Structure formats: structure tokens, C-alpha cells
Amino acid sequence: MTDFTQMGLKAIRDGVAAGDFTAREVAEAHNDAVAAASELNAFIVATPDHALAAADKVDAARAAGEELGPMAGVPIGMKDLFATKGVQTAAASHILEGFKPPYESTVSQKLWDAGAGMLGKLNMDQFAMGSSNETSYFGNVASPWKKLGSNATLTPGGSSGGSSAAVAARLCPAATGTDTGGSIRQPAAITGITGIKPTYGRCSRWGIVAFASSLDQAGPMARSVEDCAIMLGAMAGFDPKDSTSIDAPVPDWAGALDSNLEGKTVGIPREYHVDGMDPEIEASWEQGKQWLRDAGAKVVDISLPHTKYALPAYYIIAPAEASSNLARYDGVRYGLRDLPEGAGLQDMYAATRSDGFGDEVKRRILIGTYVLSAGFYDAYYTQAQKVRTLVQKDFMDVFEQVDVILTPTTPTAAFALGEKTDDPLSMYLNDVFSVPASLAGLPAMSVPATLTQDGLPLGLHLVGKPMDEQGVLNAGLAIEQRAGFTAQPEKWW
Amino acid sequence: MSVTREEVAKIASLARISMDEAALDHMVPELNNILAFVEQLGEVDTSAVEPMTAVIPQEQRLRDDVVDADPLTGGGRRDDVLANAPVAEHGFFGVPKVIE
Amino acid sequence: MSNYRVHGATGEWEVVIGLEVHAQVTSKAKLFSGASTAFGAEPNSQVSLVDAAMPGMLPVPNRECIRQAVRTGMAIEAQINTWSRFDRKNYFYADLPQGYQISQLYHPLVGEGQLVIEADEKAGIPEDKVIRIERIHVEQDAGKLMHDQHPTMSYVDLNRTGVALMEIVSRPDMTSPAEAGAYIRKLRSILRYVGSCDGNMEEGSMRADVNVSVRRVGDTELGTRTETKNVNSVRFVMQAIEHEVQRQIDVIEDGGTVVQETRLFDPNTGTTRSMRSKEDAHDYRYFPDPDLLPVVLHEDFLEECRASLPELPDAKRARYENELGLTPYNARELTAEVETFARFETLLAATAKGIGKPEKDVATQVANWSLSVAPGVIKALGDEGDPANATAERQAAILDMQAKGEISGGQAKEIFEIVLKEGREPAEIAETEGLKQVSDTGAIEAAIDEILANNQDKVEQYKGGKDKLFGFFVGQTMKAMQGKANPAVVNQILKDKLG
Ligand SMILES: [Mg+2]
Ligand SMILES: [Zn+2]
């Protein structure tokens, strides 16, 4: 009997289309896998009926000889940041617990229209703030991976940690993620899967709970470059409801995949060589360069001089936007209301928000409130936005000579849950390699490269020119073909 | 620059997050850590730099002046608007009485 | 300079006033959503998911709102900023679902402009005065709180939430309540000419935040100002200023200091009081809205805005005086309101066409009719008449008959009365009711011959130099003609016959 959970997105889609099996069989197998994986805590809400209904629709359409969509028959996980009509959308927070949107996000709607079904809402860092999935109100997500010879529970990364865990654990062939400073790429890297954040504006933000508006982008997380290309094609596209959505046609990325990099130049930014860099990370990066050379690319050293300042700029801009974006959670129109005896309106706000937001969310709201407040705005926020201009300019300058940039995705492999929770700042450093591309709005992806000696996955990070997802995907494919990464976590859950 | 306990309390009040003494104990050093980290931005000479306005250079698109063209952005859906409200009565949201 | 002075216990005070007028932009849909802006709907029935600030909702600006604000800017000769953007003003209140108002602080759509308030001796405005306008920015209106429907709760209606407002910020150029009143009236008139705001203050389409400070005559430093929010009529604005001025002078003269604060006007008492709910709303943490992009205006858009502007109040008034030959008073009265000039211009065109003369030749007649004769008749009739019967065509027909001498001024009024009461046509009324004057020279000549023959003595006296007797002959003739003779014809024939 076929194990459908071992199949990738494309294999499932093509098998359903060919009549090798039904979409219902696939959905049932994945529903079972989700139900059996409660120890991972990857899902906040399971929606088996949604997956089955979508599958039945695809099977019926196939039987009727209708044309099937690019995601037909593929059951996926949906990050809890995407509004799903009638299904709790809480951004993994207490303050939105029980909130059932009367609307569907643009991206999730596009996926349903393409024939996908929903297995459930995926756990995540609360309001997408975190890099280890330890800030969810609904509990930590456990990575399916374990270090060799250790039973410690590891982080699946974050904020899209439910997504990375579920895809790595074969609970779903693909999942949606969102990426503000690395929240697709970092969890993908440390769970041995593939994830791409497209150019800012490729995917509509309409209906995605906002963290930092100028940075948030949705993207796919899956187990191959091709699966990511297919799913991104279904997610992307102009949306008149989002002012920052890019009005440009969506290329056939999957159809145009090509791992021959002859004539292409890959840049290696010297500023990403940080002191005390993990030698295994260093080695995988070296390996990555070689693979790209093998694929025909020319590899050159480049400089992105403001790299060092990207992370501090990010930790001003993102909290500033978040402090404002999260002001709407006030206990008036939806979500939690905490009304102490005799409290007035403003007391109700303070009580509701204190009770409803987790510590990391509060921390960022306070930072954001501070840097925007009277007297500090120019020194912090304006300065950060100027530095952001410089960070972007660095990229645009090097893109005169190179087509794509290669770096490690993360500074380390997965760490244990609880290891960094006492020091928020050390947690922030997880995103040191992913944040610059976020600030510049560039397409960037993580592709699995290798396993550490401890048996944990490491990813390589590719950053492309604005709108050139194809260049990123092609380079990713070249690495994927050479890395031959087939490792998967041993099932312990 | 670092923030005092009083300043953190003031910011928390501005952000409408009530914080007790224990919460402040935690928060003050954490915020100062983070602020010390972001402080290094001051090293960058940005005197000739414009702050970022749109990461992908685009102009604002404008919508036509049409009512309820798309139910997702139009009105006339009071039940949906009130459906998740902690308190809704007679078609209104209810909040503790406000004195202006 | 205004000579408005307030006498305090310790000396003379002068007043500095600036106004921030919030004018609702005329548009069908809201500034950032497709929900309707119509007034008076059921609570929360005109609220989109965007207006309710549901998670993940995003704003997309309405072109018409931008266009109307730009046209308004052009009408006050302002700088139009072809690059502007929206900022967020952050504060928590139950009428503000997002927790921030989308407004424009750093780069408003419209920059420096101005308008002129006209001299009005009676009101203490000795000459025309320019009031500078600092900026116009576009922003979202808030929702509405109802405090009296429930013992322990306030109710929230978000229908107004997100309706587009123009905030028109004046410089502190006004120095008396009268100037402030004149400024709002003039601004309202311009907005209504342009069509960018209906100016309906009762429905809240225009509200003013009134900034007032006082200083001793001769001082050059500005005093501490207070801001009285959301005052919604010209009269209330003037009352609020008067009260605030007196209050501030009292505070200072009693040895206190004026506190910079937000106040609320109570129309029932004509007084202002400190606004508790805004006590800590002092740090709005403005920053550019990251959900929106810079608004860039291109020449074709600007050209359309420019081309669609109507003739504006000042230009129209000048034209009425210079080209139509109207008195300054008539010109001002006729151009103050959109409805007034619209009726006048329709009637003027119809009358000029009917009579076959250029507009300037009949303008004074039409102006007098429009400003005094017709309103007089309408007012006198009260409920007995229906102004809807007074179509431009009918009024033009009356003016036409009068201009041709077919009816007298008195007959014109009588005919108009019947028009108002019964909706009949003037020509038919004149005919059937016998409301016509005789211009037939034959009949008038015959009557005059008879009168002169019967009053030979008086003819001699007149010829001997007693000019005043001319009136006697006119009177006799009119009497003989039962008042229906055309006075001009009578005069002419008498002059001929008496030599
Ligand atoms: Mg104001
Ligand atoms: Zn305003």
C-alpha cells in the first residue's frame, strides 16, 4: 500500500490527476497522520472535514472530466496567521482565542481555488513573534528531529514552527508560512525542508494577521524546490485589496525550473562570515558554493557593508509596526475581553491586553511603543528606516554583478526548547542571516543542505533580485540536486 | 540610552498593557538589553540618506468610489461584523460606560 | 487689523484664534473601504470588515476622496503636494477600531493656501482680510459612541468609522469671534461651490476644533492655547470662542495660568469644559502607515481636477459686479450660497433669452427680483404658496412681461402670488385676471387729451413753469386708465403734448 504521507505535493497532485489514487485516500492518510501526532503539537485546530470536502470536490471534478487546479487533491497545513472562514484564527494567541473570521484570506482562498484542502491550523509563535515556537499560547511545537544520542525536545524554528514540524514529520506535504524576518526560512532550514519567501508584494497580505506590515510575506514550505514553486504559483498574484500587492503577472515558476546555472554569477557576501561561526555551518556554506560552481555558476565574493546593522534596524522597524498593528486587539469587537470589576474602558484595554498577549508580544509592543514615542522617533525609527535604505542599496549594488546570493540560512542547527528563552536577544540572533533580505523585500529561500554530525539538518539560503523568484528557485534546485538530502526524522511521536 | 522603571511603566500605560511590579522587574532589563543592541544604529552616517518609504518602489493605487462592489471590503454585513463581539446589543458593540 | 478687544479687570486683551475644520469629503464609499457613507443608517450596517479592523484587513484609498481634497486645495490657491503619504496616529478609544487613525502628519496632500473674508463693518471687520491656511490633510473619521442607551455601557456604532474627512488647518490669523465665523462661512461656501463637502453642519459634515489664546494688548508672544473639539455650528464656534476668551482672561487675572488642554463645548450652556477622556492622549506616536504607499499625483489627474473646478465665490462676485453691473451688496448676497447663485443664474439666462437682450442688461432687474421681490412675496404668502411652483421659466416669463412693459411691478407681484398659490402660467394669469398694463398709445393718448382739455388752467400753470404739475397729469392719466397704463408710455406722451 502506498504511504501517501511520504509523497510530495507534485506527486500527489499528479497521481490524483492520473487516477492512480483518489484525493480522498490522500486526505484520509494525512488526517490520520495529523491525529496521531499530537505530541508534536504542530496543529492548534485540526480540520479533517475541510480536507475531506476539498478532496471529494477534486475527485468529483476529475470524474466529471473537469480541469483540475495546480494544487488539486493536495491536503495542506495552514499557518494560524491566515484568516480561515469559520475556523478559529488566533495567531496562536490568547487574545484571539475563539475568533472565527467571517472571511477567508486571499492566499488561503487561492489555495482552495487551486484544489487544495486544509488539514488544520498550524501552531506558530504568537503573532509570528519568535524563532523557536515557544511563544504560542497553545504550547510549544516539538521538532520531529532529535539530536543523535539525545532525547531533548528541539525547536522546529519559528515563527512558522508548526508548519516546519508538520511538513518535516510528513503530516502534510506542504504548508503555508509567513516570513517577516526569516519565519519561513529559519524553521525550514532547521527541520530539513524547503521554504521560500517571495518578493514583498507577491502574495497578498489581505486576511493575514499582521505582524509588521512592511515586511510580512506569505510563502510555501514543502519538501522540494519544485513543490515550493508549484505552491507559490498558487499563492501569489495581484490583489486589489492590498495596497502593497504587486500588479504583475505570476510567472510559471515550476514550468521554468532549470538547474543549469551557466552564465549565472553567485555572490558570497563577506560580511556573513561572522567571528566564531559554527564550523559545520561554514563547511556547508563552502559545500554550497561548490555545488553552484558544479551547476555552471561563477562564484564571486561580494560586500554588503551594512549587514551588521540589518538586525538592529529590524528590531526597531518590526516592533514599531507591530505595536500599532496590534492596537486593534482591545476586547471591543472580537477576541478576549477582560473586564475587572468596576473597570472603565481604558482599564478594560489594559487588562485585556495584559492577559491576552504573551511576554514576547508585550516585549515587542513596548519596544515599538518606545521607539515611536515623542522625542525618540527620529533617533530610532527614522534612523532605522534610513539604515534600511542603505541595506537595500547594498543589495541593489551587488545585483549589478551577481544574479543570486548564497549564505547560510541560520547561524546554528536546531537548539533545544528552553535553551534561549531566558535571553530574548540571543533568540533574535537566529535571524541574523535572514533579516537583511526581509528588510530589502527580496525573494529568498532555504534549501536543505546537509546533516550536522549530531544528525540535524542545515539549510542554505539564496537571495535573489526583486521579482526574480525564478533565479532563486533555479539556484535552489541546483543545490537540491547535488545535496541529495533525503534524511527525515525518525518517528518518535 | 536606557529606560527606567518609571519610563517602562509609562510606555506600558501608553500601550494599554497593565504590568504589575513583578512584570516590570523582568521587563526593564530585557528592554534595556534590546535597546543597547539597537543603539549601534547610531554609528551609521545617514545624513544623506532618505528613510525607506516603499521597499518595492510602487505608487499608491487608488480605488474607484463604488459602494459594496466587493463584499470583502463593503458594508451591509452587520451580523458578520458583530458575530465575534464580546458584547453586542441592539446592533451596537457594548463597552464599559465612557465619560467624555 | 481687527480692533476686537476684551476689557478685563486688569486691562485690555486681544485674542488669537486658529481653526481646524474637519469637513466630510463628498464620496459614496469610505476613504479606505467600500462601505457606504450615507447618513442615518441602522447602527453598524455600513461597516466593512476593514472599518471594523478585523485581523488582517487592509486599507486601499478611494480616488474620489483624494480628488476632492485636491480640488479643494486648488480652490484655496494652495500648494498641491504631488507626493504625499498617510501616517498613523495611535491612540486607544472605543470609536477607533484600529487603535490608530489613518491621517497625514508628515506629508499632507495639500500645503499652504488662503482665503479672504470680506469686510463687514457691522461685525467689526473693517476691511477684507486674508486668512492663511496651513494645510489640508485627508484622514478617517471615527465611529460614534452613545452614552445614554444603557445604564452601565456605552454603545458603539461604526457607521461613520472610516468616512473621509479633510482637515483644513488655518493659521492663527483670526482675532475675533466674528472673523472666525466669517472664516467658517467662507470656507463652507468654497467647499460647497467645489462640491467637496455638503457643508451640512447639523449632520456633522463640518466640525471645527477651535484653538484660542489670549494676550494683553501689545504683547507679541502667543498665550497658551486651548483646543475646543468638534464644535458644529458657526454660532457655537463664536460662542465657544467668547466663552474661552473670558474664561482664560479670568484665569490669568485671578493669578492662574491657562492649561494647554482639550476642551468640550456644551451647546446648552454655551460654555466649554475640560475633556477627561483625552487627558493622556498626548503622545500619538505618528509614523508612516506601512500598509499604504506614497500617493503620487500625475499631471493628467491634476489637470482633470483643475478643469473640473467651478467659478469660485470671489471670482463670481467680481464678475457679478464688473460684468453684470450688480451692486456690491447684491453681488455678495447672490454669491454666498450655491443654491442662491444657481437659481439666479438660471433665471438670468431664461430672462435674457426671453427678452432677447444680453444678460448684463437684465441682470439688475433679475437680481432685485431674486433678492427682494420674489423672497418678499414668498415670505408674505407663507404656507399659502408653494415655492415649487416658482419655476425659473415662470419667473422669467413674469420678468419678461415686466421688461416689455406689459405688466407693472405691482402686477408682477400679483401674478407671482397666483403662480405660487396655483401653479398657473404667468401669461395666462395676466390675460384671464386682467393683470396687464396698457401700452397702446392710442388709448392712452385719448385719455390724456381728455384730461388736458378738462384741466386747461393747470396746463397753463405748467407751461408757466410749475413743473410739479407733471405728476398731477400722470396721476390723472393712470386713474383714468385704472392703473393699467404703462407709466413709461404715459410719461412720453405727456411730455410730447405739454411741450
Ligand atoms: Mg485636530
Ligand atoms: Zn483631524
Cα A300 to averaged position of ligand 2 atoms, centre (Å): 54
Question: Catalytic: A159?
Answer: yes
User: Mean pLDDT for chain C?
Assistant: 93
pLDDT in tens, C334-352: 998 999 999 999 999 999 9
pLDDT of residue C129: 96
- List, for chain A, all residue ranges whose pLDDT scores fall below the cut of 50: none
Rounded distance between C-alpha atoms, residue C27 and residue C39, angstroms: 12
CA A218 distance to own-chain centroid: 7
Q: Is the pLDDT of residue C1 over 60?
A: no
Paired residues of A121 in beta bridges: A45, A78
pLDDT of residue C115: 97
**Half-sphere exposure at residue A34, Cβ-oriented, CA atoms within 13 angstroms:** 32
pLDDT of residue C480: 85
From the list A81, A120, A116, the residue with the least C-alpha distance to A234 is A116
Residue C410's pLDDT band (cuts 50, 70, 90): confident
Pairing label, strands A265-269, A404-408: parallel
Rounded distance between C-alpha atoms, residue A345 and residue A227, angstroms: 49
Kindly state the cell numbers that stand for A185: 526560512
Cα C168 to averaged position of ligand 1 atoms, centre (Å): 9
User: Could you please report the per-residue DSSP string of A349-415?
Assistant: HHHHHHHHS-HHHHHHHHHHHHHHSTTTHIIIIIHHHHHHHHHHHHHHHHTTT-SEEEEES-SSS--
User: Mean pLDDT for chain B?
Assistant: 95
Residue C202's pLDDT band (cuts 50, 70, 90): confident
pLDDT in tens, C112-137: 999 999 999 999 999 999 999 999 99
Q: What is the DSSP letter of C168?
A: E
Contact between B41 and A384 using a beta-carbon 8 Å cutoff:
yes
Question: Catalytic: A298?
Answer: no
Do you know the residue count of chain A? 493
Contact between A383 and B33 using a beta-carbon 8 Å cutoff:
no
Nearest-CA distance C21 → chain B (Å) = 21
User: Could you please report the per-residue DSSP string of A97-132?
Assistant: TT---SS--HHHHHHHHTT-EEEEEEP-SGGG--SS
Residue C281's pLDDT band (cuts 50, 70, 90): low
Q: What's the burial of A449, exposed, middle or buried (CB within 10 Å: 0-12/13-18/19+)?
A: buried
pLDDT of residue A1: 67
Domains and CATH numbers, chain B: 5-42 (1.10.20)
From the list A291, A295, A231, A227, the residue with the least C-alpha distance to A258 is A295
Residue B47 near chain A (CB below 8 Å): no
For C:70-89, CB contacts with B below 8 A are 85
Characterise C243 by phi-psi region: left (phi > 0), alpha (psi -120 to 50), beta (else). alpha
Rounded distance between C-alpha atoms, residue A445 and residue A457, angstroms: 15
Taking contacts as CB-CB distances below 8 angstroms, the residues of chain A near C92 are 327, 330, 346, 349
Which of A108, A238, A332 to mutate to test binding with chain C, by most C CBs within 10 Å of its CB? A332
Rounded distance between C-alpha atoms, residue C343 and residue C338, angstroms: 9
Give the contacts of B84 (CB within 8 A, at least 6 positions apart): A98, A99, A100, A102, A333, A334, A335
Residue C203's pLDDT band (cuts 50, 70, 90): confident
Q: Is the pLDDT of residue C482 over 90?
A: no
pLDDT of residue C80: 98
Cα B32 to averaged position of ligand 1 atoms, centre (Å): 35
Count contacts between B and C (CB, < 8 Å).
Answer: 161
Neighbours of chain B (3+ CB pairs under 8 A): A, C
Rounded distance between C-alpha atoms, residue A215 and residue A316, angstroms: 12
Question: Catalytic: A79?
Answer: yes
Which one of the ligands is nearest to C103 CA? 2
Which of A330, A334, A336, A369 to mutate to test binding with chain C, by most C CBs within 10 Å of its CB? A330
pLDDT of residue C2: 61
For C:208-267, CB contacts with B below 8 A are 264
Residue C44 near chain B (CB below 8 Å): yes
| C43 contacts C217 by C-beta, under 8 angstroms | no
**Once rounded to an integer, what is the mean pLDDT over residues B65-70?**
97
Q: Is the ipTM of this complex over 0.90?
A: yes
Q: Is the pLDDT of residue B1 over 90?
A: no
Q: Is the pLDDT of residue C278 over 60?
A: no
Q: Which residue has the higher pLDDT, A369 or C442?
A: A369
Nearest-CA distance C199 → chain A (Å) = 31
**Once rounded to an integer, what is the mean pLDDT over residues B52-79?**
96
Q: Is the pLDDT of residue C463 over 90?
A: no
Taking contacts as CB-CB distances below 8 angstroms, the residues of chain B near A367 are 31, 34-35
| Cis, bond preceding A159 (omega within 30 deg of 0) | yes
For C:296-325, CB contacts with B below 8 A are 296
pLDDT of residue A167: 98
Contact between A312 and B44 using a beta-carbon 8 Å cutoff:
no
pLDDT in tens, A1-24: 689 999 999 999 999 999 999 999
Residue C277's pLDDT band (cuts 50, 70, 90): low
